[in-house]
Structure formats: C-alpha cells, structure tokens
Amino acid sequence: MSRHVISLRDLTDGDLEWIVRRGVEIAAGPADAGASLRGRIVGIYFSRTSTRTRTSFTAGALRLGAQVITYGPGDLQLNTGETAEDTARVLGGMVDGLVIRTAGPPEEMRTFAAHCGAVVNAMSADEHPTQALADLTTLSARFGRVKGLRVLYVGEGNNSAAALALALPRFGGVELELRTPPGYGLAPEVLADATALAEVSGSRVRERHDLASLPGKVDVVYTTRWQTTGSTKADPDWRRRFEPFQVDEAVMARYPGACFMHDLPAHRGEEVTAAVLDGPASIAFEQAQHKLYSAMAVLEWCLAR
Ligand code: CP
C-alpha cells in the first residue's frame, strides 16, 4: 500500500488527526519511540537548503530504526539532465520511501510517488505540508487540543501559510485570520480550498491585506520569514510592502497570554523583532523541536507495516 504526504489536501481528517496525535505521543515519550521502521530504507533528497526539516526526517528515520541515504543538491544525475521520471523509477526500486524538498510544484513529487511506496513533500514551491503537521503537533502539545484555537497569521501567504490554512481549520471551531501584504497573499485556490474546508468543520478562515481591525483575542500569533527558502520576489521594492507586517512588541501587547510561533529560520528585525522571537511568549524553538516528533509520526504513517 502506498502512503504519501504530498499535499495536505490528499489527507483525510482522520489521517491528519492520527499524525498529530502520534507526534504528541512521541513528544511525550522517549525520543527513540521504538523500532517501527527497522529494515526500511529512507532516501532523503533535498535540492534546497534546510536545517530543521532535513535533520528532523533524517534523525527521525534513524531513531525509528530505518537506514537512511541522503542526497544533497549536487548529488543526483538530475543535475546532468536525467529526468525526474527516470530518477524516480530507479530510486523507487531501491528505497522504501523518499523525503523530498525541491523548488518545483507538487506534480514533481507525484512523479516520484508513481514509482515509490512513500513520498513525503518536505517543502515545495507552493506547500510545506510537514511544517503544518509539526505546527499542529506543537499546538496540540501546548494547548491540549487544536479544536477551537484562534490563530493570527501575519506575513507572506507563502508555502507554510498555505499548509497551515489547509490543515488548521479542519480541526473544527478554529478561527484563522491571515494578514498578508498586498500582492503577497495566499494563492486564490488555496484560500478557496481552506475556506471550503473550514465551512465543513465549523471553522473560519479570513484573509485581509492590512493590519486594521485585528481580532480582539487570539491564542497564537504566527509569522514566517519574508524571503521563503528558494524563492525570489520580482518587485525590487517588495520590502516597503512587508514592513508594516512585522510582528513586534506592540502586536504581541494586544494579546496577553498568546503564544508566538515562527517556522524558522528567522530574520530578527524583519518579520519579527528580537524581543518577540526571544521573549517569553515565543514557542518558536519548541515548535522546531516538534518537527522531529512530527517527522517520526509522518514516517510511521507512511512506512510502518
Ligand atoms: N521550517 C523549515 O522548513 O526549516 P528548514 O528550511 O531549516 O528545514
């Protein structure tokens, strides 16, 4: 049976809940959660830089008893013109699962999925599904639930924001308010899908392109870096549009008791001030740690027999 995590749209609510619950269980227990992947071989192919995601999937696979082969940006013959299709046919016959980060669209991952038992999207141009899974695991561990949480997302409607919008509202009673710079919002199809998912589960997703009339109460303020890994902005004046969207002490002061989240890496002084990122409300590094537990849950869901 093939099990892939390429887009959160592909997962059922039950799949999402299982992965989050399992991540929380692993977080609460010993770091080596058993040997559920003993005898399995996981390929880790990152054509773009990564600190957290690559390490969490590599360490996670090893902690679960799997063996790992890693490929960096310069390793595969994709660099010399071999097609993704041919690469997928070869690797798929040799490894049990592939964890892949590229700058391409999810369709590229689906080429690999056609030939490999399990493919995990470790970030593509338009969605970062394992980031959202780690975020939900962090929220569930911190609040004891995801249902009913109120989240204010401030910043670019990038691949992390897209994944959050496609996952969070499915837990029911969630209020997700996105404030994105004009021209840098969620892709229309992502907003439409997130809104439809929210309606089904009694949640609400709303996006605006200013910081007026912010919600009165939120449990979490979330941002991401302005320059998403592997992406560029055509407008040389883009910073002017982003500057009002910095999460600073004034934003956090509106929400006493709220947590601050950031998927990292961060640029202090751009999307967030140092006082917020390193301050008492910040759970950004707890969030990064949960990437390990969530990666282990994803690998078990994809690969454990
Ligand atoms: N958040 C995240 O994906 O971090 P890396 O780019 O370091 O993997």
Q: Report CA(224)–ligand 1 centroid distance (Å).
A: 11
The pLDDT value recorded for residue 103 is 84
Nearest ligand 1 atom to the CA of 263 is 1
In the predicted structure, residue 122 carries a pLDDT above the cut 60: yes
Q: Which residues contact 82 (CB under 8 A, 6 or more apart)?
A: 76
* DSSP symbols for 59-80: HHHHHTT-EEEEE-TTTSGGGG
140 within ligand 1 shell (Cβ under 6 A): no
pLDDT tens-digit series, residues 83-120: 999 999 999 999 999 999 998 777 889 999 999 999 99
Domains 8-128+291-303 and 130-288 share a fold: yes
229 within ligand 1 shell (Cβ under 6 A): yes
Nearest ligand 1 atom to the CA of 54 is 8
Nearest ligand 1 atom to the CA of 264 is 1
**Mutational pocket test of ligand 1: of 46, 57, 123, the residue with most ligand atoms within 8 Å of the beta carbon:** 123
**Residue ID of nearest Cα to ligand 1 atom 6:** 50
For 232-251, what is the mean pLDDT? 94
In the predicted structure, residue 32 carries a pLDDT above the cut 60: no
Closest by CA to 43, choosing from 112, 124, 108, 107, is: 112
Spell out a b/e string for 194-232, using b for 16 or more CB atoms within 10 Å of the CB, else e: bbebbeeeebebebebeeeebeeebbbbbbbbbbbbbee
Which class for 280: exposed (0-12), middle (13-18), buried (19 or more C-beta within 10 A)?
exposed
The pLDDT value recorded for residue 173 is 98
Mean pLDDT across the chain: 95
Q: What is the CATH number of domain 8-128+291-303?
A: 3.40.50.1370
pLDDT tens-digit series, residues 156-208: 999 999 999 999 999 999 999 999 999 999 999 999 999 999 999 999 999 99
Residues 288, 279: Cα–Cα separation, whole Å: 16
Closest by CA to 254, choosing from 144, 150, 143, is: 150
pLDDT tens-digit series, residues 39-73: 999 999 999 999 999 999 999 999 999 999 999 99
219 within ligand 1 shell (Cβ under 6 A): no
**Residue ID of nearest Cα to ligand 1 atom 4:** 52
pLDDT band of residue 227 (cuts 50, 70, 90) is: confident
For 231-252, what is the mean pLDDT? 94
Q: Which fold has domain 130-288?
A: Rossmann fold (3.40.50)
pLDDT tens-digit series, residues 138-170: 999 999 999 999 999 999 999 999 999 999 999
In the predicted structure, residue 273 carries a pLDDT above the cut 70: yes
Nearest ligand 1 atom to the CA of 51 is 7
Would you put residue 280 in left (φ > 0), alpha (ψ -120 to 50) or beta? alpha
Q: Which residues contact 269 (CB under 8 A, 6 or more apart)?
A: none
Beta bridge partners of 154: 179
Phi then psi dihedrals of residue 257, to 5 deg: 90, -10
Q: Report CA(9)–ligand 1 centroid distance (Å).
A: 21
Q: Domains of the chain: which residue ranges?
A: 8-128+291-303, 130-288
50 within ligand 1 shell (Cβ under 6 A): yes
Predicted structure pTM score: 0.97
In the predicted structure, residue 31 carries a pLDDT above the cut 70: no
Token duo for residue 188: 């229309």
Residue 146's Cα: distance from chain center in Å?
A: 16
